[in-house]
Amino acid sequence: MLTAVNEDGSTPSGSSLLAEIVRESARRMLAAALEAEVNAYIAELTDERDDYGHRLVVRNGYHQPRQVTTAAGVVEVKAPRVNDMRVDEATGERKRFSSAILPPWCRKSPKISEVLPLLYLHGLSSGDFVPALEQFLGNSARLSPATVTRLTQQWQADHAAFMDRDLAEVDYVYVWADGIHLNVRLEEAKACVLVLVGVRAEGSKELVALKDGYRESGESGADLLRDCARRGMRAPVLAVGDGALGFWKAFAEVFPATREQRCWVHKTANVLDSMPKSAQPGAKKAIQDIYNAEGRGHAEAAIKMFVHLHGAKFPKAVKKITDDQEQLLAFYDFLAEHWIHLRTTNPIESTFATVRLRTKVTRGAGSRTDALAMVFKLVESAQQRWRAVNAPHVVALVRAGARFERGQLVERPETVAA
């Protein structure tokens, strides 16, 4: 298809020729993918026929064209239509084909939905979305201020529903707890986002809860945990968090059977802050020898060495480790493949490091509810990329009460039950 180009390289519509080529390529690729999806669906059901031998699943032209906003801009899509005449025996209703590539009523790609809360967190007002995005997306009519306002309201509803969901059917064997300071329109300077991330019995990681509170406040943590318990959450086997976190008082109150594991990243920073810079490199290496040891026995020996090397000169720094020795070494009582996950709060920190970089203090209008909803949507999107813990099949055995020595399974749950 030939396109007239102005002297400056733009097309009569005002966009660049390169942008037009990208959008046209995206349109053709999407059309081809939709055709292939429908053809595969029909081919799979070729043998489905009525009493007269007629096929029950056939092509039926195309749906009305619609515009979809993608990362390549706004493209017009004409999706193929399927006439599925089969009847669901359970409900008595007609079965329907639903595209996994382009769901019904889809008007924008998931990546666009991911960009909107990001921009909102940066302080971009709803009225600024159109001029900000039109340079990248071409026609931005479908991202009007009213559309963005409706989306933020929907995100708030999604967050509220998430925090009210039933947890009785979910079993979180391990959890990480942390209070993350993001500077996103929370009402007080000391406020933070309280976060719980858990590992399900099958080994996958999942966001458990996210709300505002105070990092040092045991009452804030207790409110969050009490709410989780009210909704049916079982006591985790092990909780990992910062030693200064108010969550520990809350766990002792709400889930007293849950064991504590202090985060070695936070502990290392606290210890080194109590020492002069000249002593920090050697102390850091000695601390690493503790949490990288082959087992609990070797770790205890490494702690004794740390006390021997630094106890006389830096007793306060050494006390930070010896006072919390049991909580720092708790992870050694579990499977060795899980140690790397359990000795720090990195599963939370790594996710929120990205969110933190994308947020800043702004003077724009917004509420605490808006900010929490935006953070929730960003974490919800990031959650799709979280990987399961190592040896995920063993997590269920941990819940069942299996015992581990030197990182190896020595007693299976059926033996424990006996």
What's this model's pTM, rounded to 2 decimal places?
0.67
pLDDT of residue 366: 55
Q: With bands split at pLDDT 50, 70 and 90, how would you rate the model's confidence at 2?
A: very low
Most confident of 74-88, 93-107, 141-155: 74-88
Mean pLDDT across the stretch 149-163?
84
- The pLDDT confidence band at residue 407, using thresholds 50, 70 and 90, is very high
Q: How far apart are CA 127 and CA 145, in angstroms?
A: 5
Cα angle: 283, vertex 289, 291; to 5 degrees: 110
| Nearest CA among 264, 262, 266, 309 for reference residue 286 | 309
pLDDT digits (tens, 9 = 90+) for 239-295: 999 876 778 888 988 999 999 999 999 999 999 999 999 999 999 999 999 999 999
H or E segment and range at residue 38: helix 17-44
Residue that wins the pLDDT comparison between 129 and 258: 258
Tokens coding 393: 């099949």
**375-388, pLDDT tens digit by residue?**
888 788 778 888 99
Report d(CA 22, CA 38) in Å as an integer. Answer: 24
For 170-188, what is the mean pLDDT?
78
Question: Contact 238/334 with Cβ under 8 angstroms?
Answer: yes
Q: In the structure encoding, which two tokens stand for residue 273, read together?
A: 């802050």
pLDDT score for 365 = 38
For residue 324, pLDDT beyond 90: yes
